[in-house]
Amino acid sequence: MADLLFDGLTSMAPGASEASPAIAASWTPSTDLKSWTFKLRANAHFSDGRTIAADDAKYTLDRVKAMGETSVAAVRLEPVASVTAIDASTLQVVTATPLAVLPELLAAPEYGIVPKEAVEAASPVFAKAPGGSGPFAFSGQSGDVVTLVRAAGSPSYLDGVEVHEYDKADLGKARDELTTGHLDWTVVPGGPSPGVTAPSSVPFDAELFYAFNLLDPTFADARFRQAIVKAVDRSAVVTAAYPGTAVPLGGPVPAGVAGHRDDPCGALCAYDVEGAKALLAQAFPDGNIPTVNLDYFTGTGEEAAADGIASGLTAVGIPVNKRPLPPDQYDQFVVSGQEGLFRLGTIGVYASPDAYLFPLFATGSHDNATGFSATSVDQLLAAARSTADPAARLQIYLQVEDAVMQQVPILPVAQFVTTTLMSPRVHDLTLDVHGTFAGEKVWLS
């Protein structure tokens, strides 16, 4: 919904490595990549027809950044030191350190430009009647149906979009209503849908790892961590725990993001029972293999995933102690320092390898839950953020991923997918890794 109602300064085409213009027509970085000047399009308007100014972009970014640790989108703006409206059509963003990926970061739907007067108006409440900057404008809501219409000046081919809300348990009903022509496009449960056109699945930017608490001496020996990874049949775990909704994951950079590789860890992380046993024999020649505490939150799929991991470890001789917690207690526990091999989910806010590698593995990063720290990785991450050329920067991120996985701080498990059905009359609706699409490009036959 946010992507239909709001545009950001920049945008990202599915699978692209560089941002494209959106509300900003162009941008120019300083030589040190710490000061960025964005020039806004002259014909950029809010849905009420008001021209979008640099003050609006400043207000939007300052508003998100002020949310602090309560918002992942705000945390990703931590490198931003200041945002200044130079004039009505010129915005300057200054970062504390070089940030070559700033245009890609600002393409995320979370940074869609909003009008201050609408956000702060007492009535109507913005969340109930949002004024947008995107291709469509809010028109009204009746029950579970939200109606959007083409915004003033929008290049959209469509006159409007009706968004129908369904509970997760009712997605089967949504599938049926697509077959009767009541819907044109819908998310559906994973797996086959009997009697209808085959569903289409695309990668979603949500990932699941089991991560090592590297501050726990239990996991100090990299051979032990590697043995644990080799002991787990990730394909079997995903099939058992997330049938039709996820695929096995091989590394930190997910499919759908530029620079993704299916298996960046290679033989080091391959499922290999005998290889795991050999590593255990090397690491613990006396046979005293420590018990692995397996931490996760309760839930049907989560229990199945933990069972699959535990059975793999047990099969190679690693003792396992499963420690499930209710979801409302889990988040606090996994930052307590008492966690062992723990469930770690992540979502990339922006479609760049940086969104996955820097937060998870930079020393001192807010989201570095494992305690991973490597000078060589920090240097590579800094080099990537200091490299203006996208192709050269991407090559550095590949080196980062290789360097991280050589130290085996995580057990990659699953990447989730968005599974949808679409009417034959819909054209050019292409989902990106966020599960959103460029609504202004969609047309109907």
Find the CATH number of the domain harbouring 345: 3.10.105.10
CA dihedral 394, 400, 401, 402 (to 10 degrees): 110
Question: Encoding tokens for residue 35?
Answer: 């000061």
Give the pLDDT confidence of 269-309 residue by residue, as tens digits: 999 999 999 999 999 999 999 999 999 999 989 999 999 99
Of the pLDDT bands very low, low, confident and very high (cuts 50, 70, 90), residue 106 is very high
Segments in 166-247 forming alpha helices (H): 171-179, 222-231, 234-241
Asked if residues 369 and 215 have their Cβ atoms less than 8 Å apart, the reply is no
Range of the domain at 117: 1-165
CA distance 44 to 36: 20
> Regarding beta strands 443-444 and 426-427, do their DSSP bridges make them parallel or antiparallel, or are they unpaired?
antiparallel
Which of 165, 191, 222 corresponds to the end of one domain? 165
> Regarding beta strands 90-95 and 80-87, do their DSSP bridges make them parallel or antiparallel, or are they unpaired?
antiparallel
pTM, 2 dp: 0.94
The mean pLDDT of 133-161, rounded to a whole number, is: 95
The verdict on whether omega for the bond into residue 124 sits within 30 degrees of 0, i.e. cis, is yes
φ and ψ of 243, to 5 deg: -60, 125
CA distance 2 to 109: 6
> Over the range 162-200, which residues count as b (16 or more CB within 10 Å of their CB) and which as e?
eeeebeeeebeebbbebeeeebbbbbbbbeebeeeeebe
Position 382 in a domain: yes
Residue 113 in this model has a pLDDT that exceeds 70 = yes
Give the pLDDT confidence of 136-149 residue by residue, as tens digits: 999 999 999 999 99
Question: Encoding tokens for residue 395?
Answer: 């090559």
Position 440 in a domain: no
Burial of 2 (0-12, 13-18, 19+ CB in 10 A): middle
Of the pLDDT bands very low, low, confident and very high (cuts 50, 70, 90), residue 192 is low
| E strand or H helix that includes residue 27 | strand 24-29
Find the CATH number of the domain harbouring 23: 3.40.190.10
Q: Interior CA angle at 281 toward 278 and 287, to 5°?
A: 145
Same domain for 237 and 92? no
Residue 196 in this model has a pLDDT that exceeds 60 = no
Same domain for 352 and 410? yes
Q: How far is CA 121 from the centre of its chain?
A: 31
Asked if residues 440 and 155 have their Cβ atoms less than 8 Å apart, the reply is yes
Same domain for 27 and 144? yes
Same domain for 275 and 392? yes
